[in-house]
Amino acid sequence: MPARTLSDLRRGEEGVLNRLEVADEVAQRLMELGFLPGVRVSAGRSAPGGDPMIFRVDGSEVALRRATARGLILSDSGPAGVEEGHV
């Protein structure tokens, strides 16, 4: 099963960022905006047609193109808020 990415999140869903698979300069800018491994990111609204998408991270809303969001890989922890081995 392919890894879930930010672009897979629907409005109101959230996930924990695992890694950034984008160009170094893009990764640097995203990290400056708060997209760091281990951070919880939630999906907000999106523009008509679904691009760009709005994400909430570190208290801010950030618009990302869907192609960029596909490069932000989420942790494999199941449903948001539930970690394996914890109830």
Rg from Cα positions in the chain? 12
List phi, psi (to 5°) of 48: -55, 135
Structural domains of the chain sorted by starting position, each given as residue range(s) with its CATH number in brackets: 6-74 (2.30.30.90)
Beta pairing partners, 4: none
Q: Give the pTM.
A: 0.81
Q: What is the DSSP letter of 21?
A: -
pLDDT at 1 (0 to 100): 63
Per-residue tens of pLDDT for the chain, all 87 residues: 678 999 999 999 999 999 999 999 999 999 999 999 999 999 999 888 878 999 999 899 999 999 999 999 999 854 444 343 333
